[in-house]
Structure 1
């Protein structure tokens, strides 16, 4: 049987963006569904890697058989996570997603052992959107499905179609109306699998468009020239939340993002430390994460400010490390506690040898300099195992959880 009328099969090197981009370019509606086997790590531990591999292959076969009825679509696998790229509307995709849920809920017979797995599915649909943004919305929905009790499938809200200029105008009111919320994504230690910290992530709860992610929020803030005001607001909200955390979370450190606009303020370090002290959160629990792009313009000034933060008792990190052109220069000049490996590198290390070599090099250099490393965007067991074998210190990503609120964070801690 040819490809027509069947889901085309792809190997682990595919990212899912390629077919999505192809169909979007032809002005077609596209639905992306990311399916994760919820109990896979437990099954691997209980029955062994061979049983786990056989189970994943059987699950992929069931998904492809369900998808064959659509005539078009692709299934792309990475570990125990499957990305379905479908050139159909959300309404047309809904029966298929329901069928896949049902198919995967049935027991698997693997080597004489009956195995039951749960599923979590994140879905996003759109037209005229960037492929990367559409896939990212599906990933975010999967992260919510993983942390919400009883939620098997989560559908992402529509991408906003409001012009960025209008969103910029809306943002002026959003800060005053306290529409900018702060969520927290866990950071997990490879050494023991425990959550040791979180990154504070902003979400815009727009009264008309629903929840908007950080990418749209930052684009609107740039257009409205509100970068500093937004950064101050997010820092205040994050610290206020941490100060009220229950004892269950009292051991966690919190990382907050620092922008290029922040570093351009000569008094930034003093203002940052004053805000931390006023919140009642210990300085040792706070980390400032600075993207590489925020450091390039004035490295000497950045060094002075970050030294003041670090001498003041806070931690300092370089975010998205490995994507800029001056990465190695930062290591010799800046007072840094840890490096965050960019998610675009992390998510391609299984199938892309060049990216894997870069990541291995970053981890080796960091270890030699006595720095810790955090890998962003870890979504599969294969990625986690490879990073752990190379000596990475921590990871964050949907393999543990997406951004969650305080109640969700407590549930995650208690589950470990």
Structure 2
């Protein structure tokens, strides 16, 4: 057994406690140590004891504990899902600009075509009147020929304009831009909340494709029917599917009273709001059909009348058709396209679609028997109230009145439009 000398090994161990309770230990060992044997000293146990003491200090720190918990729960979103959502978001943003620009273009179509056609029609009517006053000769023949040519051109342009209905096209693009903007906000909300799933990506893709189908950009081949046999609400959303379970078995905000309230709201929207807009849309469609046929018919008759001016057999009637027909055609065109009857029809059809979407959304939640698959009842009730322009108390009063009066109720569900 060796002898320990003071000059050979100096072991200073000092333990001091600071204000925070941190333990510090310092061991000073000289660089050169003589050949000694220390069989009774277990350095490994000392190191292990110091490590355990350090771990105990870390566990007592509230900052470290919260950091560990945050790291365990923060798994982060799937990068592939996020990349897909951002790709959809970029496409939706582009569609917003596309529909906005094309809507402005088609608004210009409506005003420019109306101005041009009315100018042609009035010029042709003026020439027909001058030809009737001039009698015979080369000047009268030139006036008759020019008047007929202008009437034929106006008839062709007006037929095309009535077929495509530029004011209705512009309204479609305005609706599409607004709905794509709404979808853009929904995607941004999903990204902001965090942890989107593959189901969210699929749902957003279906909504984009449904909007593309409901409001097509090109005219040839896929243009919406401007004079349908029956007026139906516009549909721009995919089929309502069963929602994914959120795994939350706690209270979801739904109760029997809220379910009954939503059923009454659906009933009043269907028999009052949606039905009223479909009725108004039918009237606007019928008026537009009459005007769309009358305008080209008048310009066509005016073209025939201007060609027969000066004829001994039909001279009087020809002048009336050539002059009065053009004047009446200008009035009809101004009423149809200046009044934007096609746009009014599309507005009514879109409003009816808005209420149909609300009805399907409410009914899809009510059909779901598993509460955890439903949207939170309190949030859903607030959304319905905002969409109808009503506070929660007004919404409940409306449901109570609908339950008492039923179909005899005079008040509409929506206060917005």
Give 1 or 2: higher strand fraction.
1
TM-score interval for Structure 1 and Structure 2 normalised by the shorter chain: under 0.3
TM-score by length of 1: 0.22
Point out which structure has higher relative CO (alpha carbons under 8 A, 6+ apart): 2
Give 1 or 2: higher helix fraction.
2
Higher-Rg member (1/2): 2
